């Protein structure tokens, strides 16, 4: 098995805490950290509601770099007050840098297919384009 130490993993979570993606992201992050992989998590859209999710907050205490869409917080009435340096509130420019300009080894999106495009026929091609865009 390849040594993953020093590699970087970017994750985007756009679903609410009630969606199974939150737990999947948490477990994937924990597994990556055990392999000495640096994890970068970006919360967007309904995913900003995970800011108060204990399993997501625990990740910041273990070293996950948490970036949260400030606009998403405003749209979903999620407070940005009272957080320390372990949470960075930012915009889509930072997300763009994480996805395209940041040297992550891999970037994984956790979204509902319907968020990508309302036309179900186009959803699969969008996923394929995202996965193979780099």
What is the pLDDT, as a whole number, of residue 115?
A: 52
The verdict on residue 1 lying in a domain is: no
C-beta of residue 69 within 8 angstroms of C-beta of residue 45: yes
pLDDT of residue 27: 92
With tokens 């509130």, the residue in question is: 89
55 assigned to some structural domain = yes
pLDDT (0 to 100) of residue 101: 59
User: Which pLDDT value is given to residue 126?
Assistant: 42
- pLDDT at position 128 is 40
Q: Provide the token pair at 71.
A: 């606009």
pTM of the shown model: 0.78
Any residues with CB less than 8 A from the CB of 68 and at least 6 apart, and which? 42, 43, 48, 51, 80, 87, 88, 89, 90
**Owning domain of residue 46:** 8-131
**35 inside domain:** yes
Q: Domain tally for the chain?
A: 1
- pLDDT averages per 10-residue partition of the chain, 134 residues: 76 90 92 90 93 93 94 94 92 73 65 54 43 39
Has residue 2 been placed in a domain?
no
């Amino acid at each position: 098995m390849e040594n993953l130490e020093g590699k970087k993993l970017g994750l985007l979570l756009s679903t609410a805490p009630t969606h199974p993606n939150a737990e999947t992201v948490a477990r994937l992050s924990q597994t990556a950290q055990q392999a000495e992989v640096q994890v970068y998590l970006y919360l967007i859209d309904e995913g900003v509601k995970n800011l108060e999710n204990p399993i997501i907050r625990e990740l910041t205490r273990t070293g996950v770099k948490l970036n949260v869409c400030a606009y998403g917080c405003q749209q979903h009435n999620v407070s940005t007050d009272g957080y320390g340096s372990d949470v960075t509130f930012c915009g889509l420019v930072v997300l763009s840098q994480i996805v395209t300009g940041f040297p992550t080894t891999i970037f994984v999106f956790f979204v509902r297919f319907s968020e990508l495009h309302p036309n179900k026929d186009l959803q699969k091609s969008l996923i394929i384009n995202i996965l193979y865009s780099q």
